[in-house]
Amino acid sequence: LVLEKEVYEDETFRKQLLDAIQTLKVGSVWNFSNKMGPLIREPLENLRRGLETLEDGESWALQPKCDERNLKLWHPAVKWGVKRGSFSHQTEFFGPLLSVMKAESLDDAIEIVNDTNYGLTSGLESLDPREQKIWSEKIKAGNLYINRVTTGAIVLRQSFGGMGLSAIGAGIKAGSPNYAVQFCRIEESKPYGDSPTQGPLREESPLLYLARNWQTQLSRNEHAEIWSELHKTIQAIYSCLFQYESEFSGEQDFFRFRGQDNLFRYLPLGKVTVRLHPDDELFETLIRIAAARIAKCKVEVSFPPNLENTVTEFLGTTEGKRLCDSVEIRSETDKELCGRLTEIDR
């Protein structure tokens, strides 16, 4: 729990917080009036350390208490004065332990939260729309809650998935409209010459200009040797631009409940590396680069030394350089690429 300085130092707030926590009934799950039941096992190393030790500046606002008859049953504890970078700040505790920290401002609080390696859920209590906007734009977590509880995510309404160590690979948020896609093997279903889903575009973009220019060049029978690959890329760019405008660039509320907003949004991945392989086809590479650019990601193209094929040949042309405008091109071995994987988001 990160509190701005004014609230952190408010004795009335502290008393109310502790009173609220102490009203939580702890006991058997078979007594339905209890709010907290036992752990699934006795505390492991990290949780036990959190429950039994204090670091510099920390104190117990509520002492940890274990039921003598059930060593898995712990009453909630509150650790006050937790400092940035400490064990209790950087560790995820799977037990009833609340670490309370002080922040000088909202921006400082956001930095404290983002300093951890975890990002599953985060919540904000504020009635100021400006603070809500700043927080929702800067906080790094998969599920964001404003002025509401941060547990009990409901399928689709609050699809569930995190960032950092709170995510595994490229897994899609559970309960999201795209969740089933990751279990599918996707293939082209339309004949080669048919166009993917497209529609009118509201905004101009460099890639739209590029696709139109390529279309003009193909109408003049230029690029004859790669005509089909380039034609396919043009149609895919139009489709990606349309899908970005209609789906990926905005927020959606699938339920529109009165009194609450359940907003679903997409965020750019960050740094995306397109790694070239000798067997890659031209279309596959061009649309990967274009799609990542359309999604507002920072894109780089990486290829093995001495790789020469249709793809590298095209990327070296004027049209290839226009596609790769603002894209970093790197020649590196697999080992060199592996050595900097921590710098790459996808």
User: Quick check: is 276 in a domain?
Assistant: yes
Same domain for 222 and 74, yes or no, is no
CATH code (residue 29): 3.40.309.10
Domain that holds residue 207: 187-346
User: Quick check: is 66 in a domain?
Assistant: yes
Nearest to 1 by CA among 88, 85, 70: 88
Q: Which residues are 303's β-sheet partners?
A: 331
Domain final residue, candidates 116, 133, 149? 116
User: Quick check: is 157 in a domain?
Assistant: no
Same domain for 110 and 220, yes or no, is no
Q: What is the pLDDT of residue 182?
A: 87
Q: What is the pLDDT of residue 155?
A: 83
User: Quick check: is 97 in a domain?
Assistant: yes
Whether the CA torsion 92, 46, 56, 76 is positive or negative: it is positive
Polymer length of the chain:
346
Same domain for 86 and 198, yes or no, is no
Six token digits for residue 139: 């906080």
Domain final residue, candidates 116, 143, 173? 116
User: Quick check: is 182 in a domain?
Assistant: no
Q: Are the C-beta atoms of residues 214 and 172 closer than 8 Å to each other? A: no
User: Quick check: is 160 in a domain?
Assistant: no
Q: What is the pLDDT of residue 294?
A: 97
Q: Which residues are 26's β-sheet partners?
A: 36
Q: What is the pLDDT of residue 192?
A: 54
Same domain for 319 and 235, yes or no, is yes
Domain final residue, candidates 71, 86, 116? 116
Q: What is the pLDDT of residue 193?
A: 53
Per DSSP, 246 falls in state: I
Q: How far apart are CA 118 and CA 46, in angstroms?
A: 15
Q: Are strands 65-67 and 70-75 parallel, antiparallel or unpaired?
A: antiparallel
User: Quick check: is 151 in a domain?
Assistant: no
* Residue 73 parent element (H or E): strand 70-75
Same domain for 96 and 207, yes or no, is no
Low-confidence ranges of the chain (pLDDT < 50): none
Structurally, how many domains does the chain consist of? 2
Q: How far apart are CA 206 and CA 228, in angstroms?
A: 22
177-234 pLDDT, tens digit each: 888 888 999 887 766 556 677 888 888 899 999 999 999 999 999 999 999 999 999 9
Same domain for 91 and 234, yes or no, is no
Q: What is the pLDDT of residue 231?
A: 94
Q: Are the C-beta atoms of residues 311 and 339 closer than 8 Å to each other? A: no
**Which residues, in sequence order, are CB contacts of 149 under 8 Å at separation 6+?**
123
User: Quick check: is 132 in a domain?
Assistant: no
Same domain for 198 and 317, yes or no, is yes
Q: How far apart are CA 63 and CA 71, in angstroms?
A: 16
